[in-house]
Chains A and B, each alone.
Chain A
């Protein structure tokens, strides 16, 4: 463990402006990740979990004006307000990315070996032959059999699991300190998912990287992450160590989410547990708690003002719920 976190996000707000509309997909979120640590960011679609990680690094669609406020400090450098040309130096080098769909993340008309070597040439200034050797090393590192032959293949010749391993190899090519993995196993089968997750976890430990794992699957979180941020409607609802948040969730939304996971002991044909209502669509920020309309514990105070994240007495878990924080709905 190191004292200074590698990545510190404080009070990050992202506003997206188009000609027609203005939305705020991220509204005042804070978290930090240390070297060698894995942070899971969990939320449903539209909760802001992806935008939060990609917007500060300039990875946003064109045609949208992105306005950032707050602070994102990576390895001692403030990313917010930095010009694109400088941010580019971080992307793919000290910060590696893994995207959900390995097919669209790879160039279909270039050989695997070239795609990996290209990254080593660009970021580490290697000569083409040194980069090719590095590519072979990386392909071995991500556990691919017959690595030399794989380097000569094209992405379409590989299965989904192998492709995702290649994407991981590319992400590692620049020797990143931080790996951001956006739903890295969602597009894969459950058997392959287990393999990829184990590989990521193993690499993270061996290379002593920090990892941000964006996912919606609590099973993935439980197996891989040290800490978790639960996002709901652009804000963090709960934050803390995985061992505490998944075992005894405090925020009603986190509780509902974990409760909704089918369990082995549920009788066959029994009702599925879920949350009532639907998640809000992106729009103007809520005045009060965004979850209040779906919450069984809601009181008048919930819709009056935005609930602040309050730490538990031992200071490990932060929960943004006035009811829980007053101890009225203690589990």
Chain B
């Protein structure tokens, strides 16, 4: 890992006009993240927390209201026209649903060839050679190129979508739930493909997912997002072993285990309620409405991010105590349905 991040997001804010007049939905609010070359970084959170909007804003599918996206140190907002398009090419997006991200009427070869043509590869033989190479990289047989994308299974389609993103030699892949539409027995195959691409090609990958165990195994670092803000980030092992934000603790404790005996004994904390509306986020700490540790202070000010160990920080007044295990968000008694 080199010391310069390939992708740096600084104080990014994305807001949408709300249906309520004069109000805004702050989907992404003051988010800063970094991605180093050849690194898989996880971004986890519940639906509606803004994780997909963050990914989409980074690649330019949504317009940032403020903040900067730097690719290799170059602020993308200072570029325009051809220069912007060329830079953006280094940032590619892999969508969740491989059934809607590919054109059913194209063959696999055509789908990849199109990407190469747009990238400016003129010679047909070069493109054919590159298509073959890309199919090989994503683990598909060369013969697949003559088949229509509609004839393929979900896992194969996702491989084609990945091959298309790789066609332009990206530096960064933003993968938005790339395996959640796939069957359990196929997921591992596609996840291993991501691991291999990261090793072989050195592509950095922002892995947006809600499956916490999947992210833990794939990512070296993880960001936890709640209601538009990063509440905790750190190296995966450290963060999963010592989650230091009440939200991270409760999120991790919500994952059911496949072991029936352990599952019956597990006193999972029931997180209170659901994510509030991002149109009117709570004042101060955004998690305070669902947090069992809430004190008056949380209402008044946005908690600062505490540095807990190298690369690990959490934005909670009690982060230090939570990190040391002196306090926990998991003591919440079971709130049974009335």
A residues in contact (CB < 8 Å) with B: 44-45, 140-143, 159-162, 189-195, 197-199, 202-203, 216-223, 242-243, 246-247, 256-258, 260-264, 266-275, 278-279, 281
Pick from B47, B237, B260: contact of A247, CB under 8 Å = B260
Q: CB-CB contacts of B259-289 with A at 8 A, as 1s and 0s?
A: 1111110001011001100000000000000
Q: Is the CB of A194 within 8 A of B268?
A: yes
25 contacts between A and B (CB under 8 A): A141-B337, A142-B337, A159-B274, A160-B47, A191-B46, A191-B250, A191-B251, A193-B256, A194-B256, A195-B270, A202-B337, A219-B256, A219-B257, A221-B258, A222-B260, A222-B263, A242-B260, A243-B260, A247-B260, A260-B187, A264-B240, A267-B217, A268-B217, A272-B217, A278-B185
Shortest CB–CB separation between residue B278 and chain A, in angstroms?
12
Q: Is the CB of B258 within 8 A of A274?
A: no
Chain A hits for B270, CB < 8 A: 194-195, 198
Query: Given the complex of chains A and B, what is the CA–CA distance between A161 and B274 in angstroms?
Result: 8
Pick from A190, A199, A219, A262: contact of B337, CB under 8 Å = A199
Chain B hits for A198, CB < 8 A: 270, 336-337
Shortest CB–CB separation between residue B330 and chain A, in angstroms?
12
Given the known interface contacts A143-B338, A189-B46, A262-B217, the answer about A45 and B259 at a Cβ–Cβ threshold of 8 Å is: no
Q: Is the CB of B186 within 8 A of A278?
A: yes
Shortest CB–CB separation between residue B255 and chain A, in angstroms?
6
Q: Is the CB of A192 within 8 A of B274?
A: yes
Chain A hits for B184, CB < 8 A: 44, 216, 257, 260-261
Pick from B189, B217, B219, B237: contact of A270, CB under 8 Å = B217
Query: Given the complex of chains A and B, what is the CA–CA distance between A11 and B117 in angstroms?
Result: 55
Interface centre among B153, B260, B261 (most CB of A within 10 A): B260
Query: Given the complex of chains A and B, what is the CA–CA distance between A258 and B185 in angstroms?
Result: 10
Chain A hits for B254, CB < 8 A: 190-191, 193-194
Q: Is the CB of A274 within 8 A of B185?
A: yes
Shortest CB–CB separation between residue A60 and chain B, in angstroms?
22
Pick from B47, B195, B237: contact of A189, CB under 8 Å = B47
Q: Is the CB of B258 within 8 A of A246?
A: yes
Query: Given the complex of chains A and B, what is the CA–CA distance between A220 and B40 in angstroms?
Result: 28
Question: Which residue of chain A has the shortest Cβ distance to B264 in the bound complex?
Answer: A223
Q: Is the CB of B337 within 8 A of A143?
A: yes
Shortest CB–CB separation between residue B1 and chain A, in angstroms?
13
Q: Is B109 part of the binding interface, using a Cβ–Cβ cutoff of 8 Å?
A: no
Given the known interface contacts A222-B259, A266-B217, the answer about A279 and B46 at a Cβ–Cβ threshold of 8 Å is: no
Q: Is B220 part of the binding interface, using a Cβ–Cβ cutoff of 8 Å?
A: yes
Pick from B188, B250, B255, B275: contact of A273, CB under 8 Å = B188
Interface centre among A194, A246, A247, A257 (most CB of B within 10 A): A194
Q: Is the CB of B259 within 8 A of A271?
A: no
Chain A hits for B220, CB < 8 A: 268-269
Pick from A195, A223, A258, A274: contact of B187, CB under 8 Å = A274
Question: Which residue of chain A has the shortest Cβ distance to B277 in the bound complex?
Answer: A159
Q: Is the CB of B336 within 8 A of A202?
A: yes
Q: Is B216 part of the binding interface, using a Cβ–Cβ cutoff of 8 Å?
A: yes
Q: Is the CB of A263 within 8 A of B213?
A: yes
Question: Which residue of chain A has the shortest Cβ distance to B259 in the bound complex?
Answer: A222
Question: Which residue of chain A has the shortest Cβ distance to B198 in the bound complex?
Answer: A269
Shortest CB–CB separation between residue A164 and chain B, in angstroms?
11
Pick from A162, A274, A275: contact of B192, CB under 8 Å = A274
Q: Is the CB of A45 within 8 A of B183?
A: yes
Q: Is the CB of A190 within 8 A of B216?
A: no
Q: CB-CB contacts of B171-214 with A at 8 A, as 1s and 0s?
A: 00000000000011111110110010000000000000010111
Query: Given the complex of chains A and B, what is the CA–CA distance between A202 and B261 in angstroms?
Result: 18
Q: Is the CB of A268 within 8 A of B250?
A: no
Chain B hits for A216, CB < 8 A: 183-184
Chain A hits for B210, CB < 8 A: 189-190
Q: Is the CB of B46 within 8 A of A190?
A: yes
Q: Is the CB of A274 within 8 A of B213?
A: no
Query: Given the complex of chains A and B, what is the CA–CA distance between A278 and B259 in angstroms?
Result: 26
- Across the A-B interface, give the 3 residue pairs with the lowest CB-CB distance, nearest first: A274-B188, A219-B256, A143-B337
Q: Is the CB of B185 within 8 A of A44?
A: yes
Chain B hits for A220, CB < 8 A: 256
Q: Is the CB of B236 within 8 A of A272?
A: no
Q: Is the CB of A264 within 8 A of B216?
A: yes
Query: Given the complex of chains A and B, what is the CA–CA distance between A198 and B268 in angstroms?
Result: 10
Chain A hits for B260, CB < 8 A: 221-223, 242-243, 246-247
Q: Is the CB of A275 within 8 A of B185?
A: yes
Q: Is B155 part of the binding interface, using a Cβ–Cβ cutoff of 8 Å?
A: yes
Q: Is the CB of A243 within 8 A of B255?
A: no
Query: Given the complex of chains A and B, what is the CA–CA distance between A161 and B258 in angstroms?
Result: 23
Q: Is B218 part of the binding interface, using a Cβ–Cβ cutoff of 8 Å?
A: yes
> In the complex, given contacts A45-B183, A260-B187, A275-B188, what are 4 additional A-B residue pairs having Cβ atoms less than 8 angstroms apart?
A143-B336, A143-B338, A190-B46, A198-B270
Query: Given the complex of chains A and B, what is the CA–CA distance between A263 and B258 in angstroms?
Result: 10
Q: Is the CB of A260 within 8 A of B185?
A: yes
Query: Given the complex of chains A and B, what is the CA–CA distance between A220 and B260 in angstroms?
Result: 9
Query: Given the complex of chains A and B, what is the CA–CA distance between A217 and B184 in angstroms?
Result: 9
Question: Which residue of chain B has the shortest Cβ distance to A275 in the bound complex?
Answer: B185
Query: Given the complex of chains A and B, what is the CA–CA distance between A246 and B261 in angstroms?
Result: 10
Interface centre among B255, B258, B259, B275 (most CB of A within 10 A): B258
Query: Given the complex of chains A and B, what is the CA–CA distance between A279 and B155 in angstroms?
Result: 11
Shortest CB–CB separation between residue A155 and chain B, in angstroms?
15
Question: Which residue of chain A has the shortest Cβ distance to B271 in the bound complex?
Answer: A191
Query: Given the complex of chains A and B, what is the CA–CA distance between A247 and B216 in angstroms?
Result: 23
Shortest CB–CB separation between residue A176 and chain B, in angstroms?
18
Shortest CB–CB separation between residue B120 and chain A, in angstroms?
35
Shortest CB–CB separation between residue A153 and chain B, in angstroms?
14
